[in-house]
Every structure is written in structure tokens, then in C-alpha cells.
Amino acid sequence: MNGDAEKRDYVIKGIGVSPGIAIGKAYLFDRFDAKVSFYKLRDKSLVSKEIKRLRNALKESEHQLREIKNKLSELAGREPLYIIDVHIMILKDRMFLNHTVNYIKEMGVNAEWALRMTIDRYREIFEKVDDEYLRGRISDIRYVGQMILRNLAGEDREAIPPDVGERGIIIAVDLSPADTAQMMINKVLGFATDMGGKTSHTAIVARAVEIPAVVGLESITRVVKTNDDIIVDGSMGMVVVNPSPEMLRRYEYKKRHFEEDKEYFLRYAPLPAVTKDNYKVEIGGNIEFVEEIPSVLVHGADGIGLYRTEYIYINKEQLPTEEEHFDHYRRVVSAEGLRWATIRTFDLGGDKFFSDPKLAKEMNPQMGLRAIRLCLREVDLFKVQLRAIARASAFGKTRIMFPMISGIEELREAKRIFCEVKEELRRKGVAVGDDIEMGAMIEVPSAVMMAEELAKEVDFFSIGTNDLIQYALAIDRINERVTYLYEPLHPAVLKLIKHVVDVGHRRGIPVAMCGEMAGEPMYIMVLLGLEIDELSMNPLAIPKVKKMIRGSTLKESRELLERVMKFSSAAEIREFVTRIMRERFPGEFRLED
């Protein structure tokens, strides 16, 4: 450890991508430090030998990747498998091979040296790419390059060593999904990386295997060394290096609490979300991947309230085919134990990147060409998805909803295209469900104002508070400098939500909420008072929310809401709600909540 990190309680902030606390010894996993020798070839006759060594190493790497893929297919979902396929594709890429062979021939260097040059060349090209997702793919190339280097050196494959064992916390620049799967086998406690964001592959796998993780720490590999004591707080997105005994005690308590909470609340998962005076709320699970369905079931959702289908695109090098879409949707709608599935058409753009060069970088992407706007611009792309949804609807109760509707034209146009697609399929004799419900996400203030008109066009509303708050309060949801203004209990936000629910009910359609607000225990009585019909949330949040709903009455929640609506500032509402909720549910809130 160096510099400030030698101090006790050195805290580094990053992005928490998988909740929970890990306390243990650091293991610096630095595959980029492989001991590789670089040398000039003594004479030209050695060139063909080097090329042969390179080809053998490529073959061996492919063989190893296929082995990892087999192992992974028994342990994890499909997502990591796709990523391994990408690694294999890089290995087999002709340009990758040709560049390296040319370096060997033209510069007379050994295969390792030539390979490093190829990787550096790719890195240079990728670093200049505007698209953040594409830029991130350099980690895949580096991973593959490192694997080839190890095979050239004849070393054993590097993996998370077994002796990291039960107490290890992995510290790395970046991790591949294969590394993360290995962590599962070795029962690694947690990990922290320099690179990555919420949608990085590492984050995706970490959440799926429930290992606490913080990414995007930028310099953690430079300040931590193997065997340092370390705490990873995946819930808060923080890493504490060299914790003092006092800090350690605090975190041991927090960790115990987190695990006890998880265990304790899980017993409420199978119970219905009904208040003491018999008011029933439907509970949905929000998912990004079909691999999350088992977790949705374990945590007690009635259905899928939001399937963020854009993730099908985000983890692909190429556009997904109709069959791929269909395969995902069929698995979601036909999942046993789930009564319905709400498939949201893709919401790309904003902070969700898409590797299509046609989409220029925008100044204000949150207000740019995203969601339904993009769908209606790229109708062919949209139709591929719509066809797959329509076909999947023959396999189970399907709801489709359109994101970021700002007025009636967009909704009518989306519906028209969907009906056209359904008709075409039926004409061809393809089975399509006949009770597909269509809904609009209400997440733009203009849609709130137009709720009366929109309600006539759809079967349900789903309020996306993440965006509704962003647009209503003019706060970019990914800008950490204004997060202090992001306030679900702002009176304007509550008035907007109330208006949507009132209009929906007057028009006889159910109103769901699928933004983060829906799964926040502190707001449960406010949400009950608002009489939202369905709350859809991150599956892990469901059991506690159910417990709290079961401990409340509709009557007291309505009374609470009535008082809340009389305040004119967010601060007053928060103060009031926090006080009441703490009194009402003394066991559910800790001091930091």
C-alpha cells in the first residue's frame, strides 16, 4: 500500500454494483503483470517458428475458452456465455492474427512482442471511439491477449487461485465474466475494480451471483496490495482500506445486519402483499436479463413488472436477431410461477449505450433520441422486437409497454405499428396471444398532463419515477453533482403521481409504478395512500416491502397521504414521513436510512 492508503480507514468511492458487505484480505489479481519476455529474432529463419508458436497459442487459448464456456454453462446464465463467444471471435479474427504475423515478419520480433503491439494498436483505436460501450470492449481484447501471452509462455492458465479461499477479496483492474464465474467456485467474498460501470459485464455477473462488488474505483489497484485488510461495501459503493478496529466493528455490525435482514425478510416472500384491511397490491419484479427470473420467484413477485429489454442490445456486438428476442421473451412470459410479464420495448439512448454509429453523440442524451423516439425513428429495428414479443405472447400472459411517451401521437404510432406486426403474423398463420395488454410508461411530465387522453388508448399505465423525477425537477439522473436535488417526496412529484393514479382509476385502468421509488421501504405508506395498483421493483427489495404492506392499513395510509399533500416543501414531507415511518415500523429502519 502506498501514500494515503497507509492511513487507517482510507476510503475510496466507486460505483456499487452488487449490494452487501465483504470484509477480508485483499488479493491483487493483476494479470497484466505476466512475466513475458520480449526479444528480437536472431535471424530470419526463426520467423516461421515464431508464427507457429503464435498459432499454437491461439489454438490452445480457444480450447481453454471453450472449456471455461462449458464450465460456465453449468453454473451461470447465458449472458456470460455470449461474452466468452466474443472472446473466441477475437481469437479467430483474421485481422488480429494478420497484424501480429506482420509484426513478427517485418520487425523480426518474437510472438509475445508482436502480440503486445497488436493489443496496443487496438487499444489506441478503441480509445478514440466516441461510443462508451465500444470503448469498453478493449477489456475483452486485453483479456484475450493476456491469455495468448500466457500460452506462449507455456504457463498454466491464470485463474483466481484457490488459496484466496473463503476470505479473499479480489482487487483488479478489470475482471472478465470467466474470472467472476471462477470466483463463484472459489467462494470469493467480494471484489473491487478500477474499471467498469453498472452495465459492465463484471457488474452483471456479480449481481447474478450475489457477490458484493464495487467498480469504477479508478486507482484501487495502485493503492492496495495483497494481504491488506479491506472492506467492500457494495450497497454504498465504497471500499475501506486498512480499516481501524472501530471501523471494522461498525462494518461487521452492518454486514451482520445486512445478512440477517435478507434472511429475515425472505420469510415474507411467499405471502401476498395485502394490508391489514384487505387492500391488495400486485408486486412485480424488475429485470434486465432472463437469468434473473429465479431470483424474482424466490423473492416473491407475482409477475414481471418491468423487463428492460434494451439490455439484449447492450451486451451484443451485433444487433440481436428476432429469434434471440423471441427466445428471451418466451422464457419470461412462460416462466412458471409468474402470472404475467410486462415487456418494455427497448429504451436505448440516454445513459444506455448502443453501438450503432448512426447514433451521434448528443449534448443532452437524457432528453435526446431515446426510447420510443428512437423506436419510431428506426422502425425496422422496432419491428424486429415487436414481432418477437407478439410471437412470445402465445406462450403466456404478456403486457407490452412503451417508454418515454410524451404525447398521444407517439403512443398511437407505436400501437399502430404493433397492430400491423400482429396482423402480418396472423396472416402468415403464426400464433399470437389474443389478450396482450398495451400500456404507456408515464415518465415525462407532458404525459402526466395528457393522462386523460392517453388513458383512453391503453390498458394500463406504469409510472417510471426515475425519469419522471428527472424531467419534472430538471435533474440529470446520472449527474452526481445534482443528486442531492433528486427527491421522490418533492410535493410536485407526489402531485404528478396522484394525478396519474386518479385519472387512471377514473378511466378504469390499473396504474403501476416501476421506478426505484416503488421499492423504497420509506415510501410504502405514501404509495399505499396513493392507491397504486402494482409496485414493481428490484427483486431483492420485495420481501421487506411485502412485510411493510402487510403491517399497514389502507385507511392510515390514506390519512398519512392527506397530511403529506398539505405540505409545500420536500424537506417538510421527508421529515414528516421519516418520523411517522420510524415510529410505525421501529424494527425496519436503521439510523442511516
What are the residue numbers of the active site? 201, 514
Closest contact distance (angstroms) between CB of 4 and Mg ion is 39
Q: Which residue spans within 106-177 are E strands per DSSP?
A: 168-172
Q: Determine if 466 is a binding residue for ligand PEP (CB under 6 A).
A: yes
Selected binder of Mg ion within 467, 520, 531, 534 (CB under 5 A): 467
Q: Out of Mg ion, ligand PEP, none, which partner does residue 514 contact, by CB within 5 to 8 A per kind?
A: ligand PEP
For the chain, how far is it from start to end, CA to CA, in angstroms? 33
d(CA 453, CA 476): 28
One-letter amino acid of 157: R
User: Is 188 within 8 Å of 167 (Cβ atoms)?
Assistant: no
Number of shown-chain residues binding Mg ion (CB under 5 A): 3
Closest contact distance (angstroms) between CB of 441 and ligand PEP is 7
Selected binder of Mg ion within 196, 237, 305, 464 (CB under 5 A): 464
- Piece of the chain touching ligand PEP by CB under 6 A; list 9-17, 120-128, 141-149, 458-466: 458-466
Q: Determine if 578 is a binding residue for ligand PEP (CB under 6 A).
A: no
Closest contact distance (angstroms) between CB of 173 and ligand PEP is 29
- Which of 186/366 has CB closer to Mg ion? 366
| Interface of this chain with ligand PEP, residues 324 to 353, rule: CB under 6 A | 347
Q: Determine if 488 is a binding residue for Mg ion (CB under 5 A).
A: no
Enclosing H/E stretch for 13: strand 10-13
Please return the burial class of 562, using the count of CB atoms within 10 Å of its CB with bins 0-12, 13-18 and 19+. Answer: exposed
d(CA 158, CA 150): 8
| Interface of this chain with ligand PEP, residues 22 to 41, rule: CB under 6 A | none
CA distances from 336 to 237, 251, 293, 294 (A): 34, 39, 10, 10
Nearest to 359 by CA among 316, 368, 367: 368
Number of shown-chain residues binding ligand PEP (CB under 6 A): 10
d(CA 449, CA 468): 12
- Piece of the chain touching Mg ion by CB under 5 A; list 29-37, 102-110, 443-451, 572-580: 443-451
User: Is 401 within 8 Å of 457 (Cβ atoms)?
Assistant: no
Query: How is 160-200 classified by DSSP, letter by letter?
Result: --GGGGGGEEEEES---HHHHHHHHHHT--EEEESS--TTS
Q: Determine if 366 is a binding residue for ligand PEP (CB under 6 A).
A: no
Closest contact distance (angstroms) between CB of 443 and ligand PEP is 5
Selected binder of ligand PEP within 465, 538, 552, 557 (CB under 6 A): 465
Phi and psi at residue 309, to the nearest 5°: -70, -15
User: Is 29 within 8 Å of 195 (Cβ atoms)?
Assistant: no
Q: Determine if 228 is a binding residue for ligand PEP (CB under 6 A).
A: no
Q: Out of Mg ion, ligand PEP, none, which partner does residue 282 contact, by CB within 5 to 8 A per kind?
A: none
One-letter amino acid of 146: Q
Q: Determine if 531 is a binding residue for ligand PEP (CB under 6 A).
A: no
- Which of 237/349 has CB closer to Mg ion? 349
Q: Beta strand 229-233 with 21-29: parallel, antiparallel or unpaired?
A: antiparallel
Closest contact distance (angstroms) between CB of 338 and ligand PEP is 18
Binding mask 290-309 for ligand PEP (x = CB under 6 A): ----------------x-x-
Q: Determine if 76 is a binding residue for ligand PEP (CB under 6 A).
A: no
Q: Out of Mg ion, ligand PEP, none, which partner does residue 308 contact, by CB within 5 to 8 A per kind?
A: ligand PEP
| Interface of this chain with ligand PEP, residues 158 to 187, rule: CB under 6 A | none
CA distances from 316 to 134, 356, 384, 387 (A): 10, 11, 16, 20
Where does this chain bind ligand PEP (CB under 6 A)? 306, 308, 347, 443, 464-467, 514-515
Where does this chain bind Mg ion (CB under 5 A)? 443, 464, 467
